[in-house]
């Protein structure tokens, strides 16, 4: 059972992600406020989806901070954005990948699967 | 009136004056033909020799003149002479006395104290007022004889006299008389007659024969003129013209006939035919005739040979050698009536005119004969005298007036006429040319030599002498070099034989010493030396009795110093001595009114030189009992009363003479006044003419003025037009909303419009001459503008366009679009540039706002699109498990539309990014063929059209943005598929060049017209055909593609043909 954390302020996206990863091996939790991430002490997620456009915060910046925190440093992060250059930006910010909206759910599932497999090894 | 005025002495002047006063015609039959015999005192046998020959003709009068060189002949000798003559003739012999009348059938004997006068139609002997020397006396006598009795005389001369008379003989000859030199001396007989002016040189015996043969001509003087067209006459004219170049046709026939008739007489030719025969045989006679014609016919014609010599040789040479500052001086020692001088002047002026040369000319014409000089000075000629002068010259050099043809003042001013004795008076100097007019003919050897020395002295180096006729044996080889013989032309030689005229020696002497010498000789009598102003220079001897002190300011004037009794006499003596240029003496002047008052002898001696005219006045007291005159009868002592009467008579005579002289002077003054009057008239005429010309000029000026006025008005209108145009141009400029400046070629401002001023808050009118960068604290001083403007001014680009952000005082930050270009060339205007500024701040902000809006909008659209797409995918997954059902198809269609929507938003984002410069290329090395193949495979799924890839070569790897290039390929292929619907295939080719690769996509669809291709890579460009509905899209694909390729440094091109398809090609650099 893998714990996927989605940080986004768009409730529709949260809903969609819940449906995409509705499979039993996934447990999806959502934060609409990015600051909440830094308060995590237990139940550390296996993967974080981070929208670059958050209300009151920049997703890329949040990503960099997470990559600096000792507890969150090793959590793979996938950035989601409407900007076409997100893949490059994501890599620069320390994320494992960046996906551009709109995306194919097949590809997204594949990406998550490979990311978690790598981490599992 | 036909008086001949060939005299220069008072006595002869008087003759002529008498003739004038008496108004007597000269052709008087009552005057008998005269045979004059002249001989020197030493040859007292001479007249007897001649008288014994012919039987005395009662129609003739004989005059025997004895000349004695100034010595008086005493009474006894006179008696012996008369007695000797009486023995040789049966005619009564009369001793000429004052008022003796010359009558036919008489022999008159006269000493040289007498002359002839022609008074009241009679020839009368007159006692000469003053004693004259023999040669002058003989000349005068003969001249008077000729003047009084033309064509009725012969002159028989002893060789002793013949040498001395020249002008007298000339007159005789000119009047048709004959002259003989009679001698038995063989050497004389062998001389040619031309050496004297005489016609014959004969022994005494032969003279009588010849004289007798001539006598009939004496009694029939008026030989009728041959009719015109007479063959012999024409023959003579032809011979003269052919052999001597002498054209006598212009001269009056009468004058020619007189000369011919005379020559016929000399040769005893009875008819013209006979004379013509002689002329054909005898060359010498032809020369003599020609000579005589030349010297007696005075006309306005130089003989042709002389004229030619002047124009061909002399004038050019003189003008070439002449110093510009010096006048050209010509001397004619023989004036005649002025015609030769005027002729030379005309020739010279014509010559100068033809050769466009200028020169100051002075022509001196001199003559012994005062009358000739007077005639020349008057310069009026009658119709016969000017006959034959060309109309051109007549028009140019003469003025026709009622009294004849007047020489033009221009010519008259050039010529100076003066009486002069060639052999005695000082010659002229610095003369360039002397034209002798045959003056040397008849001179004896010593006179010739003297004349040549004078000519030599007068001439400049290389000066010319044209002597006229002369004998070749007389050529003065040591002084002159013969230049030509026809006519005779000499050039002055530089020789060491300077001429020193006697008067120069005199002038070298000191005047006072000379005076002392004279006084010492006379035991120093009372004397005064005075200068030309009659001022006393020095006193000699005891002058006390003769001087007075006048009650006025002291004066040295001699006439104010001497006693009243002497003033009159002295004044007269001074004047006489000046006129005659010799000492004058008068005796028996009483000093005071008393009868026994002392008698004085006054003598005035001129001490003339070239520089001064001093006179010595000597006063001597005479012994009381001295005889008073020659005419006084001897025997008894004269009473005081008689003496007084005699003295008074003398004074009376003197007064009479003075009165005549005064009359003459008055006549001259009147003549001068008349001349002056004529000149005034001429001047008046000229003024009238000038006035006419001025009137003409005034009219011209008026018409010019009118034209100027018209031109001025036209200019005014033109000016107004120009002003309007300028105002219009200014108004256009002022009305422009945009700031605009005109720049000079150096970049400085020429003009700025008011908008410019308003925009930058400066005074537009004061912008001229400033640079653009100095305006408003340098708001335009930005590097990009400097660079671009520099390139524009350097002509590297034809226009500039740039956008500039700057801070404008009072307006804050502004964005300016600056456009500039070279001004259209204006004819003759200075080149310049027009620079226009547009404030695009608002527009730029609006565009950015729009881009931002589109960006944000499309970005925000993406999120719901993503969600929708995700939902539809999930829905599809769910429904896929139940295949064949209707909802699955619907979901798939939904998916397609959602994909389109997302692609659209993506494109919009791309465009915004590109226009804002936000697109960043992520370049990496990749295999472009792999990309191409992948893309083709991907798209093949979506279309039934076959996508054919033709590989030409292997393609190298390129360094580029893989994703973006892929986007371009998709775009091109999608377009091709879209516009080639219904065709079978699309061909994709790729290849490599040196540093680039290329990919082309060719379709065979509808294609495009050239118009359609124009803006194909622009934003929002879409083809209008076929119906837009059929092929939806916002037309951003090609714009994005071209921008991507461009940013890679590559190029995208298209070729297309309507209904045949298009080829799109991209070229990418390898790195």
Per-residue pLDDT, B959: 92
Chain A residues with beta carbon closer than 8 angstroms to that of B865: 101-102
For residue B718, what pLDDT band results from cuts at 50, 70 and 90?
Answer: very high
Residue B1033 above 70 pLDDT? no
Q: Which residue has the higher pLDDT, B848 or A56?
A: B848
- List, in sequence order, every beta strand (DSSP E) within B550-674: 584-590, 599-608, 613-621
pLDDT at B713 over 60: yes
Choose among A19, A82, A102: nearest Cβ to B869: A102
User: pLDDT tier at B723 (50, 70, 90 boundaries)?
Assistant: very high
Which residues on chain A are in Cβ contact (under 8 Å) with B867? 10, 12-13, 15-16
Query: According to the model, what pLDDT value does residue B15 have?
Result: 43
Chain A residues in contact with B913 by the CB 8 A cut-off are 84
pLDDT-wise least confident of B210-224, B267-281, B811-825: B210-224
Q: Which residues of A touch B871 (CB under 8 A)?
A: 16, 19
Measure CB to CB from residue B863 to each of A19, A20, A101 and give the nearest one.
A101
What the block records as the tokens of B676 is 């002056």
User: Is the CB of residue B869 less than 8 Å away from at least one CB of chain A?
Assistant: yes
Which residues from chain A sit within 8 angstroms of residue B910, using beta carbons?
A: 84
Q: Does A88 touch chain B (CB under 8 A)?
A: yes
Residue B647, pLDDT > 70, answer yes
**Is the per-residue pLDDT at B514 higher than 50?**
yes
Is residue B14 scored above 80 in pLDDT? Answer: no
Band (A43; pLDDT cuts 50, 70, 90): confident
Distance in angstroms (rounded) separating the CA atoms of residues B110 and B553: 53
Contacts of B923 in chain A (CB under 8 A): none
Given a cut of 50, whether residue B233 has pLDDT beyond it is: yes
Predicted pLDDT at B907: 78
- Asked if the C-beta of A22 comes within 8 angstroms of chain B's C-beta atoms, the answer is no
What pLDDT score was predicted for residue B987? 92
In this prediction, residues B694-722 reach a mean pLDDT of 92
pLDDT band, very low/low/confident/very high, at B636 (cuts 50, 70, 90): low
Q: B70 or A109: whose pLDDT is higher?
A: A109
- C-alpha span between A44 and A61 (Å, rounded): 20
Top-confidence residue, B31 or B192:
B31
Question: Which position has the token pair 């033809």?
Answer: B354
pLDDT, position B508? 44
pLDDT over 50 (residue B1028)? no
The arithmetic mean of pLDDT across residues B912-936, rounded, is: 81
Higher pLDDT, B247 or B762: B762
The strand pair at A53-54 and A57-58 is best described as antiparallel
* Tens digit of each residue's pLDDT (9 = 90 or more) over B837-854: 888 888 888 888 887 787
Mean pLDDT of B389-405: 82
Looking at the complex, report in whole angstroms how far the Cα of residue B1037 sits from the nearest Cα belonging to chain A: 16
Range A93-107 average pLDDT: 87
- In this prediction, residue B1069 carries a pLDDT of 92
User: For B407-442, what is each residue's pLDDT tens digit?
Assistant: 888 888 888 887 777 777 777 778 889 987 777 766
Of A20, A82, A105, the CB nearest to B863: A82
Could you give the CA distance from residue B894 to residue B886 in angstroms, rounded to a whole number? 13
B282: number of Cβ within 10 Å? 13
Residues B302-311 have pLDDT tens digits of 666 677 778 8
As a whole number of angstroms, the distance between CA B903 and CA A101 comes to: 11
C-alpha B234/C-alpha B734 separation (Å) is 102
Please indicate whether, in this complex, the C-beta atoms of A102 and B922 are within 8 angstroms of each other.
no
pLDDT of residue B644: 83
- Residue B30 pLDDT class (50, 70, 90 cuts): low
Q: Write down the pLDDT at residue B704.
A: 92
Query: C-alpha distances in angstroms, B281 versus B276, B277, B284, B698?
Result: 9, 6, 9, 70
Please give the average per-residue pLDDT across B516-538, as a whole number.
75
ipTM (interface pTM): 0.85
Per the document, the length of chain B is 1071
Confidence of residue B387 (pLDDT cuts 50, 70, 90): low
Summary mean pLDDT of chain B: 78
CA-based nearest residue in chain A for residue B873: A105
Per-residue model confidence (pLDDT) at position B300: 57
Q: B452 vs A70, B439, B498, B499, CA distance in Å?
A: 152, 11, 11, 10
State residue B4's pLDDT score.
39
Reported as a pLDDT band with limits 50, 70 and 90, residue B171 is low
Report H helices in B41-182.
46-51, 75-86, 134-148, 159-162, 167-174
Counted residue by residue, chain A has a size of 121
Q: Do B910 and A13 touch (CB under 8 A)?
A: no
What's residue B999's pLDDT?
A: 92
What is the mean predicted confidence (pLDDT) over A46-69? 86
Average pLDDT over residues B534-541: 83
Residues on chain B touching A88 (C-beta within 8 angstroms):
922
B866 touches chain A (CB under 8 A): yes
pLDDT band at B722, cuts 50/70/90?
very high
- pLDDT (tens digit, 9 = 90+) per residue, B313-365? 888 888 888 777 788 889 888 877 788 888 888 888 888 888 888 888 888 88
Q: Considering only B275-284, B549-558, B642-651, B937-946, which range has the smallest mean pLDDT? A: B549-558
pLDDT for the residue B304? 62
pLDDT interval class at B511 (50, 70, 90)? low
Suggest the residue from B865, B866, B970 to mutate for an interface test with chain A (most A CBs closer than 10 A): B866
The 3-state secondary structure of B718-748, one letter per residue: HHHHHHHHHHHHHHHHHHCCCCEEEECCCCE
pLDDT tens per residue, range B762-804: 888 888 888 888 887 788 888 888 888 888 888 888 888 888 8
B865 and chain A in contact, CB less than 8 A: yes
Q: Does B939 score more than 80 pLDDT?
A: yes
Any idea what DSSP says for residue A25?
A: T
The backbone torsions φ and ψ at residue B761, rounded to the nearest 5 degrees and listed phi first, read: 60, 50
């Amino acid at each position: 059972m893998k714990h996927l954390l989605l940080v986004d302020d768009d409730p529709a996206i949260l809903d969609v992600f819940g449906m995409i990863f509705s499979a039993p091996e996934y447990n999806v939790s959502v934060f609409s406020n990015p600051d909440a991430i830094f308060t995590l002490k237990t139940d550390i997620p296996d993967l974080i989806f981070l929208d670059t456009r958050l209300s009151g915060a920049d997703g890329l910046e949040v990503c960099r901070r997470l990559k600096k925190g000792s507890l969150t440093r090793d959590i793979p992060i996938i950035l989601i954005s409407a900007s076409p250059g997100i893949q490059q930006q994501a890599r620069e910010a320390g994320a494992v990948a960046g996906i551009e909206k709109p995306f194919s759910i097949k590809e997204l599932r594949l990406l998550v699967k490979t990311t978690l497999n790598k981490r599992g090894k | 009136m036909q008086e001949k005025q060939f005299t220069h002495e008072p006595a002869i002047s008087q003759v002529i004056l008498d003739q004038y006063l008496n108004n007597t015609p000269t052709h008087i039959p009552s005057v008998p033909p005269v045979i004059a015999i002249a001989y020197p005192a030493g040859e007292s046998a001479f007249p007897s020799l001649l008288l014994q020959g012919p039987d005395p003709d009662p129609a003739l009068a004989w005059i025997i003149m004895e000349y004695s060189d100034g010595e008086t002949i005493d009474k006894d000798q006179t008696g012996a002479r008369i007695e000797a003559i009486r023995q040789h003739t049966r005619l009564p012999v009369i001793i000429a006395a004052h008022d003796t009348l010359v009558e036919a059938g008489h022999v008159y004997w006269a000493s040289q104290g007498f002359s002839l006068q022609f008074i009241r139609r009679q020839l009368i002997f007159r006692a000469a007022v003053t004693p004259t020397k023999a040669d002058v006396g003989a000349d005068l006598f003969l001249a008077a004889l000729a003047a009084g009795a033309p064509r009725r005389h012969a002159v028989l001369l002893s060789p002793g006299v013949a040498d001395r008379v020249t002008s007298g003989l000339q007159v005789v000859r000119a009047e048709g008389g004959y002259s003989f030199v009679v001698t038995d001396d063989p050497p004389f007989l062998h001389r040619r007659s031309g050496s004297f002016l005489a016609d014959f040189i004969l022994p005494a015996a032969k003279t009588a024969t010849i004289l007798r043969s001539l006598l009939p001509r004496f009694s029939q003087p008026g030989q009728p003129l041959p009719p015109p067209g007479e063959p012999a006459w024409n023959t003579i004219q032809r011979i003269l013209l052919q052999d001597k170049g002498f054209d006598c046709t212009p001269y009056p026939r009468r004058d020619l006939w007189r000369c011919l008739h005379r020559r016929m007489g000399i040769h005893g030719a009875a008819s013209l035919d006979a004379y013509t025969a002689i002329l054909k045989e005898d060359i010498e006679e032809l020369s003599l005739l020609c000579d005589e014609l030349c010297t007696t016919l005075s006309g306005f014609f130089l003989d042709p040979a002389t004229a030619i010599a002047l124009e061909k040789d002399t004038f050019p040479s003189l003008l070439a050698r002449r110093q510009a500052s010096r006048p050209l001086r010509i001397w004619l020692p023989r004036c005649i009536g002025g015609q030769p001088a005027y002729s030379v002047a005309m020739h010279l002026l014509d010559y100068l005119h033809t050769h466009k040369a200028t020169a100051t000319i002075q022509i001196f014409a001199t003559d012994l004969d005062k009358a000739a000089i007077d005639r020349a000075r008057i310069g009026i000629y009658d119709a016969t005298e000017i006959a034959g002068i060309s109309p051109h010259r007549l028009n140019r050099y003469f003025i026709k007036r009622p009294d004849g043809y007047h020489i033009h003042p221009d010519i008259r001013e050039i010529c100076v006429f003066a009486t002069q004795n060639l052999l005695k008076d000082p010659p002229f100097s610095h003369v360039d040319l002397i034209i002798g007019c045959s003056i040397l003919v008849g001179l004896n050897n010593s006179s010739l030599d003297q004349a040549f020395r004078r000519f030599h002295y007068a001439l400049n180096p290389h000066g010319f002498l044209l002597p006229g006729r002369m004998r070749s044996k007389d050529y003065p080889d040591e002084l002159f070099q013969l230049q030509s013989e026809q006519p005779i032309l000499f050039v002055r030689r530089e020789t060491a034989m300077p001429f020193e005229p006697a008067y120069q020696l005199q002038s070298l002497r000191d005047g006072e010493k000379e005076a002392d010498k004279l006084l010492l000789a006379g035991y120093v009598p009372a004397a005064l030396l005075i200068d030309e102003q009659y001022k006393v220079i020095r006193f000699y001897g005891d002058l006390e009795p003769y001087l007075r002190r006048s009650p006025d300011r002291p004066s040295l004037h001699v006439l104010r110093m001497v006693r009243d009794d002497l003033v009159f006499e002295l004044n007269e003596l001074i004047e006489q001595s000046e006129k005659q240029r010799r000492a004058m003496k008068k005796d028996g002047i009483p000093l005071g009114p008393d009868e026994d008052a002392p008698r004085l002898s006054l003598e005035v001696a001129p001490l003339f030189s070239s520089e001064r005219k001093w006179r010595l006045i000597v006063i001597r007291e005479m012994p009381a009992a001295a005889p008073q005159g020659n005419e006084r009868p001897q025997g008894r002592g004269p009473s005081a009363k008689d003496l007084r009467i005699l003295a008074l008579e003398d004074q009376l005579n003197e007064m009479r003479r003075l009165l005549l002289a005064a009359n003459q002077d008055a006549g001259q003054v009147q003549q001068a006044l008349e001349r002056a009057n004529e000149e005034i008239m001429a001047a008046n005429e000229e003024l009238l003419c000038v006035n006419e010309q001025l009137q003409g000029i005034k009219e011209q000026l008026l018409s010019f003025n009118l034209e100027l006025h018209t031109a001025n008005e036209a200019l005014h209108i033109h000016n107004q037009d120009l002003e309007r145009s300028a105002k219009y141009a200014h108004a256009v400029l002022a009305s422009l909303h945009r700031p605009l400046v005109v720049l000079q070629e150096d970049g400085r401002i020429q003009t700025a419009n008011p908008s410019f001023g308003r925009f930058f808050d400066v005074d537009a009118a004061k912008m001229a001459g400033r640079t653009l960068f100095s305006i408003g604290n340098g708001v335009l001083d930005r590097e990009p503008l400097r660079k671009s403007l520099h390139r524009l001014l350097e002509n590297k680009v034809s226009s500039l366009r740039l956008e500039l952000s700057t801070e404008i005082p009072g307006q804050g930050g502004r964005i300016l679009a600056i456009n500039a270009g070279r001004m259209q060339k204006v004819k003759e205007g200075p080149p310049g540039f027009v620079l226009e500024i547009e404030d695009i701040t608002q527009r730029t902000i609006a565009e950015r706002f729009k881009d931002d809006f589109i960006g944000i909008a499309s970005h925000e659209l993406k999120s719901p699109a993503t969600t929708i797409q995700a939902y539809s995918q999930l829905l599809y997954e769910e429904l896929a498990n139940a295949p064949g059902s209707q909802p699955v198809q619907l979901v798939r269609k939904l998916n397609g539309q959602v994909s389109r929507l997302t692609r659209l938003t993506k494109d919009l984002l791309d465009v915004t990014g590109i226009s804002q410069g936000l697109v960043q290329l992520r370049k990496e090395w990749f295999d472009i063929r792999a990309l191409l193949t992948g893309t083709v495979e991907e798209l093949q799924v979506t279309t039934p059209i076959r996508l054919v890839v033709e590989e030409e070569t292997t393609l190298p790897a390129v360094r580029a943005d893989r994703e973006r290039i892929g986007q371009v390929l998709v775009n091109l292929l999608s377009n091709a598929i879209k516009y080639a619907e219904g065709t079978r295939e699309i061909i994709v080719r790729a290849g490599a060049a040196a540093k680039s690769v290329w990919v082309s996509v060719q379709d065979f669809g509808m294609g495009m017209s050239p118009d359609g291709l124009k803006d194909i890579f622009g934003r929002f460009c879409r083809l209008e055909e076929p119906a837009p509905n059929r092929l939806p899209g916002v037309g951003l694909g090609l714009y994005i593609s071209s921008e991507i390729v461009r940013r890679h440094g590559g190029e995208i091109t298209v070729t297309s043909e309507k209904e045949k398809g298009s080829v799109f090609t991209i070229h990418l650099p390898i790195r």
